Structure 1
Amino acid sequence: MDRKLSAILAADVVGYSAQMERDEAGTFERLRARRKELFEPEIARHHGHIFKLMGDGLLAEFGSVVDAVECAVSLQHALAERNAAVSEDHRIRVRIGINLGEVIVEGEDRYGEGVNVAARLQQLAEPGGICVSAKVAKEVEKKLAFGFEPMGQQKLKNIAEPVQAYRVLLDPTVAGKPMAVNRHPRFRRNLAVAIGVLVVAVGLAAAWWRPWEPPLPPTALTANAKADTRPSLVVLPFDNLSDDKAQGYLADGFTEDLTTELARVPGLFVVSRNAASTYKDKETKPAEVAAALGVRYILEGSIRRVGDDMRINAQLIDGSTTGHLWAERFDGQWTDVFALQDKVVVSIAGALKLRLVSGQGKADVAGGTRNPAAYEAYLQGMEIYNRRNTPDEFAQAVRFFQQALELDPNFGAAAASLAWAYWDMDGPRVKALAFSESVAFYNVYKYLGEAAKHPSPSYYQLVASLLVREHRSDEAVAVMFKAVALDPSDPLNYVGLAEALNFNGRPNEARDYLVAANRVDPGGNDHRYYQAGLAEFGQGRFEEAVDYLERIDLQSPDPWPKFYGLQVLVSAYAHLGRSDQVAAYSDRLRNVMLERKDGGANQLVTQRYFVFKNPADIGRLLDGLDKAGLPELPEGVDLDAKDRLTGSEIRSLILGRDLRGGGAWIDKGTSWVQQNFLCDAFPKVQTTCGAIFRNPAGTPERRNEYTAVFRFDRFEFSTVK
């Protein structure tokens, strides 16, 4: 049996069966023409060969993974150009998956897991998109001008171990970038639209469950479903059976809302929408889903919309027996969508013997809407916003959110989405909307003000992130408790709460909520590994911190877990006295900091992002970095070290005094001493720290007795006695 390492490309036509049903002969001829005119010559041009043809797809082998990725991108661009010239029902769109792995050679055919993974990755790709494994991304990221966006660990059908997947960024405006840079270390999420309040009790004598409590005891970050005795449920992605496949956003939005609403039912545990989404468009066995997600019950169904008529089919399955507990069909008008959702939730509560005791409209308490037109515009915006979008598409999503808010000025989730959109803006996106960056920043707080009138979980998430930046972690913790209470199924709420608690000096509690995040969304990811490592580090448990931080994928295009995690990892290894690891990871840290363009690797950068409440916590981190040799100040500081003020001197000479000079630095804000640094937090501005030096030649009249050195700037000033 011969084996070899190969790059395998798997391609499959989207909607092939539907096209064949409409026009069998025409579809066959169009597909054959595309294969002869495009696929075969393009694959050959990139030194590959097709070893298997299926009715609606193909498998090809390449000796070079670079050739495989270049070929896939060329195919998708060429198909997009051809599709632009034909009607919608005649377009041929494909999904492509690429894997690098060992294959079994048998004549002209290829078998084995290397082939199987490529085929499964293809199923994860978007229509017209490309999905690759981590091995592929790692091999080509520095050789090709394409960016890669992480999709997280994916559980693939009939593949034993989860596979880290990446989406290839085809947009030329992001070519060469590892991923779109967010200004905060978090994952983007689908925003739940709250509809219909349900207050449910578990039997007559059941106790209320406080949804903000972690659903599992803090025993480990790996979830143990058996420790949770509540009824547990996953809402699998509803199928879109509408003739207009572009209305898939309705099924996605309906699934999201059901997940959120059911998660608010006291006594019922619901897995996150993110975890359930990995099963979209896949044939799965109920027992396998239940085992993988640690739940007993599975809700699945479909939604069909024809004009204003809607039909929703849903069924509840017991994963332990695969028996159907309940199945029902709901018919109504699109204007009845909220009532239909309420009926589904009430019916499930009844099937699980959860008793409805009272209810009232929830639109106001969770930022939702009762306006069907506003709801639909919002869902259209979210469908675009949550995929890898071009700047023009991003602008389109913003316009949908604005339309939703115009249709319902009380639609808090739409306002929060607009705030998030303006917060996530980069240069090309700002240009697409014809705004300046200052206007975009202004709009963040403008729409947060609108969202505050009818707060949603996404509103609280952004507010907490901004509060942490401003060194206000007490308030951030309180805000994130509200977010968790509104949507206990969202792992980002728990991770956001863990972040606030870590910086608030409560790392043991942070760990509790990371357990909760892993329960609603099984499987770790780099952001959780970083937060878990930070929680262990905050308790002086350096060995345990290293264990989590070592799991961060340093090859991932996402810069934030590396940026944060490497600083903690280097400090932890320094505290442990492991010089070899300190040296190795210090080099990687310097490279990541240079990529961030934050002034190189120094402790002023660290203090800008690690906004601990307690001096001991930042001291622990800086002491380790000091031992590791990370400089305190940027390169090129030409001031004499003997003129630098100590922390105690800053307290006595600077704090509490009026300052004169200093340009833009002197402003109204909160100042404090952090080791031998002066730190400041201003409203709506990230925390900044600097070193203070005496100026031997300075005078009060010239307002230059002292010099403050920050990451990029320095200011001369004097104090008023």
Structure 2
Amino acid sequence: MDVPGPERRLAAVLAADMVGFSRLMEVDETGTLARFKTHRIELIDPAIAKNRGRIIKTAGDGLLVEFHSVAEAVLCAAEIQRRMARRNTDVSPARWIQFRIGINLGDVIVEENDIFGDGVNVAARLEMLAEPGGICVSGAVRDQVGQRLEDVEFEDLGEQNVKNIARPIRVFRVRLEQDPKTAAAEEAKNAAVPTTVSKKPSIAVLPLVNMSGDPEQEFFADGLTEDIIAELSRFHDLLVISRNSTFAYKGRAVKVHEIAHEFGVDYLLEGSVRKVRDRIRVTVQLIDAETDRHIWAERYDRQLEDIFAIQDEITRAIVATLPGRVEAATHDRAKRKPTENMAAYECVLTAKVLHHRSTREDNAEAQRLLNRALALDPNYAHAHAWKACVLGQTWVHDWCADRDATLQHVAAELETTLGLDDNDSDVHRILAALNLTRDDHDKAAYHQERALALNPNSDLVVVQQGELLTWLGRPEEGIDWIKKAMRLNPYHPERFWSHLGRACYCAEKYAEAAGAFSRITRPDYTHHAFLAATFAQMGNTVAAAAHAAEVLKREPKFSVALSLATQHYKREVDRQRHEAGLLKAGLPA
């Protein structure tokens, strides 16, 4: 009796692999996996389904897909690569996610839900020959497709010898010309939107180098850098890059032209700090980024209690050298009330650095230091303001035992600060956020306006202006302010993308909203809920359903009513738009 052999069939096989997966995982494991999963949910899997492909198996960063039609396999690959290229447009090249794709038409062995054999092996070898973002196909695929596909051309790479395949393989590279309709639309769009270039002189302050030989003094050097940035940010006629951005270069050898190009600034300030017992030496130099020329330098060797005078002198000297001889407009600057207690000042500097790390442990240590600063100087207004900010961080991340009591404590600290110094921008920024959580839009707007007047170049104040305008029903203006904050801080926190996504959604710019939310590398269920609503409004039911499923997977108790209760829309029409999108995506009422 003859035993039947294994089932065989002719199939179009697509093999795809992510470029540089190991490197990206080493740098940011969680973020890389999150972005890869997002691309699968929104782009890759829907493209495969649309072209009637069947995913055979996945292997971490790789995919093996079977198609009944060679043409559909090529169309699917072209769509994935074109759309991935667009997704990488606004991403740093170091964080690009790219794929290599190989397609073969050949005989495969079928075993349950898997396929094996020469047809699969050749597809895998073709994938290895493809460039990042490219597609290579076998001669059999090229012959079958012929001239049937518009906007897809083939370039003959000749016969290639590949690993573990005895015979040479005729290889063609797919040339992905941009869809002419898309290109024309994008060209028209770009032509219609004027490019806005800031006329203000701009500067980036690089972290001052700690020359004390004592690692403990890193806090002091970092805190002094941050205070100089804050002082410069008070000037309306000067664009100052935020500390989050410049601190990305801490401890790194830098080239002036590269840094200036990265931030788009005219000037750089660099220097060092040496602190020995009760004396401090600060050396700074201002560099013209275009000419790489030192246009001003100074050294301050003082007793520690002169630190505030040093900051003011540095600030005035920098402003005096900038184009247009910007006046040091002291009448527009808020009066500061520095503490007389240097130990308290150092505690606040250290607490700020810890706060920016955004971990529960560092937050607890920051609270301890701020408590010490206030014990040393109970009337130190800025310490009270930062105590409120650090406590607010515990409320936002739910690191506190009693949320209501914590919010009351934040309010009490802010009221104390206002009584001591009404000219602290951080106080008004936090009060605006606090009143927004209470849906008191008028008070929120008042304190936000005060914060913006006191510190117009703070990325945190500027982005909050955009966020507040969105809640007030003016999302178009909100978008402009949020984008300005991103300009001030190119290394802005990812929550800025969330603010932009919400503003675009309220402005009914759904494609831009989806793009903004998709930039978040570690999306939580609230981000997936917005993406579900956004895609539902766009009519993309596949993507909407996928994100809705992610919401319920991460938060099984999610309901539209509970979600809307956490929103702060002033206009009912904005709330209804949000509700409609969530319900249209299939999320439970």
- Pick the TM interval, shorter chain: 0.5 to 0.7
Aligned partner of 2:389 among 394, 412, 420: 420
CA apart distance, 1:297: 0.3
Aligned partner of 2:563 among 580, 591, 606: 606
- Comparing 623-632 with 347-356, which one deviates more in the overlay? 347-356
Distance 1:446 1:575, change over 3 A: same
d(CA) in 1 for partners of 2:577 and 2:312?
51
In structure 1, what is the equivalent of residue 225 of structure 2?
A: 255
d(CA) in 1 for partners of 2:356 and 2:576?
38
d(CA) in 2 for partners of 1:247 and 1:136?
37
Task: Indicate yes or no: 2:415 matched with 1:449.
Answer: yes
Task: Indicate yes or no: 2:551 matched with 1:589.
Answer: yes
* Secondary structure of the corresponding residue to residue 316 of structure 1: strand
Matches within 5 A, 1:561-576: 562-563=525-526, 565-576=527-538
Letter in 2 for 1:348: I
Task: Indicate yes or no: 2:581 matched with 1:628.
Answer: no
Letter in 2 for 1:602: S
d(CA) in 2 for partners of 1:501 and 1:342?
34
Q: Any conservation in 1 of the 2:235–2:329 contact (CA below 8 Å)?
A: no
Q: Any conservation in 1 of the 2:545–2:586 contact (CA below 8 Å)?
A: no
d(CA) in 2 for partners of 1:428 and 1:518?
27
Letter in 2 for 1:400: L
Task: Indicate yes or no: 2:451 matched with 1:496.
Answer: no
d(CA) in 2 for partners of 1:631 and 1:469?
25
d(CA) in 2 for partners of 1:390 and 1:231?
38
Q: Any conservation in 1 of the 2:204–2:269 contact (CA below 8 Å)?
A: yes
Q: Any conservation in 1 of the 2:206–2:250 contact (CA below 8 Å)?
A: yes
In structure 2, what is the equivalent of residue 338 of structure 1?
A: 308
Letter in 2 for 1:609: T
- Give TM-score scaled by structure 2 length: 0.65
Letter in 1 for 2:271: G
Aligned partner of 2:480 among 494, 508, 512: 512
d(CA) in 2 for partners of 1:440 and 1:495?
24
Structure 1 unaligned spans of 5+: 1-99, 104-113, 122-130, 141-158, 165-218, 595-599, 633-721
CA apart distance, 1:382: 2.5
In structure 2, what is the equivalent of residue 296 of structure 1?
A: 266
In structure 2, what is the equivalent of residue 399 of structure 1?
A: 368
Structure 2 unaligned spans of 5+: 1-18, 38-90, 97-188
Q: Any conservation in 2 of the 1:225–1:294 contact (CA below 8 Å)?
A: no
Distance 1:573 1:135, change over 3 A: closer
CA apart distance, 1:355: 5.2
d(CA) in 2 for partners of 1:259 and 1:586?
42
Aligned partner of 1:577 among 535, 539, 560: 539
Letter in 1 for 2:293: G
d(CA) in 2 for partners of 1:578 and 1:389?
37
Q: Any conservation in 2 of the 1:133–1:163 contact (CA below 8 Å)?
A: no
Aligned partner of 1:481 among 449, 462, 470: 449
Letter in 1 for 2:559: N
Distance 1:368 1:631, change over 3 A: farther
In structure 1, what is the equivalent of residue 297 of structure 2?
A: 327
Q: Any conservation in 2 of the 1:507–1:539 contact (CA below 8 Å)?
A: yes
* Secondary structure of the corresponding residue to residue 93 of structure 2: coil
Letter in 2 for 1:413: H
In structure 2, what is the equivalent of residue 125 of structure 1?
A: none
Distance 1:524 1:458, change over 3 A: closer
Distance 1:347 1:516, change over 3 A: same
In structure 2, what is the equivalent of residue 311 of structure 1?
A: 281
Distance 1:569 1:384, change over 3 A: closer
Structure of greater Rg: 2
CA apart distance, 1:623: 1.6
Task: Indicate yes or no: 2:208 matched with 1:231.
Answer: no
Higher helix proportion (structure 1 or 2):
2
CA apart distance, 1:133: 7.1
CA apart distance, 1:566: 2.7
Aligned partner of 1:535 among 503, 508, 512: 503
Matches within 5 A, 1:68-87: none
In structure 2, what is the equivalent of residue 462 of structure 1?
A: 430
In structure 2, what is the equivalent of residue 161 of structure 1?
A: 93
Distance 1:545 1:358, change over 3 A: closer
Letter in 2 for 1:521: N
d(CA) in 2 for partners of 1:429 and 1:613?
29
In structure 1, what is the equivalent of residue 572 of structure 2?
A: 615
* Secondary structure of the corresponding residue to residue 613 of structure 1: coil
- Give TM-score scaled by structure 1 length: 0.53
- Comparing 378-387 with 255-264, which one deviates more in the overlay? 378-387
Q: RMSD of the TM alignment (CA)?
A: 3.4
Identity of aligned residues (%): 29
Q: Deviations over 1:145-179 (max 9, x none)?
A: xxxxxxxxxxxxxx972449xxxxxxxxxxxxxxx
d(CA) in 1 for partners of 2:356 and 2:511?
37
CA apart distance, 1:410: 3.2
Aligned partner of 1:270 among 211, 220, 240: 240
Q: Any conservation in 2 of the 1:313–1:329 contact (CA below 8 Å)?
A: yes
d(CA) in 1 for partners of 2:411 and 2:328?
39
Matches within 5 A, 1:20-59: none
Q: Any conservation in 2 of the 1:250–1:376 contact (CA below 8 Å)?
A: yes
d(CA) in 2 for partners of 1:225 and 1:314?
34
CA apart distance, 1:448: 2.0
Aligned partner of 1:549 among 497, 500, 517: 517
Task: Indicate yes or no: 2:134 matched with 1:134.
Answer: no
Letter in 2 for 1:354: R
d(CA) in 1 for partners of 2:581 and 2:244?
36
Q: Deviations over 1:352-375 (max 9, x none)?
A: 26355664797x746754542321
Letter in 1 for 2:583: D
Q: Any conservation in 2 of the 1:367–1:451 contact (CA below 8 Å)?
A: no
Q: Any conservation in 2 of the 1:378–1:404 contact (CA below 8 Å)?
A: yes
CA apart distance, 1:327: 1.1
CA apart distance, 1:428: 10
d(CA) in 2 for partners of 1:394 and 1:293?
29
Letter in 2 for 1:571: A
In structure 2, what is the equivalent of residue 155 of structure 1?
A: none
* Secondary structure of the corresponding residue to residue 304 of structure 1: strand
Letter in 2 for 1:509: E
Report the count of equivalent residues. 422
Letter in 2 for 1:506: R
CA apart distance, 1:496: 1.5
Q: Any conservation in 2 of the 1:315–1:326 contact (CA below 8 Å)?
A: yes
Distance 1:367 1:613, change over 3 A: farther
Letter in 2 for 1:228: S
Q: Any conservation in 2 of the 1:234–1:297 contact (CA below 8 Å)?
A: yes
Q: Deviations over 1:661-708 (max 9, x none)?
A: xxxxxxxxxxxxxxxxxxxxxxxxxxxxxxxxxxxxxxxxxxxxxxxx
Distance 1:268 1:552, change over 3 A: same
d(CA) in 1 for partners of 2:263 and 2:328?
29
Aligned partner of 1:354 among 314, 322, 325: 325
CA apart distance, 1:224: 11
* Secondary structure of the corresponding residue to residue 357 of structure 2: coil
CA apart distance, 1:441: 4.2
Distance 1:270 1:139, change over 3 A: closer
Matches within 5 A, 1:614-693: 614-632=571-589
Q: Any conservation in 1 of the 2:237–2:326 contact (CA below 8 Å)?
A: no
Letter in 1 for 2:414: L
Q: Deviations over 1:508-541 (max 9, x none)?
A: 1101111211111125653222222222221223
CA apart distance, 1:486: 2.5
CA apart distance, 1:345: 1.0
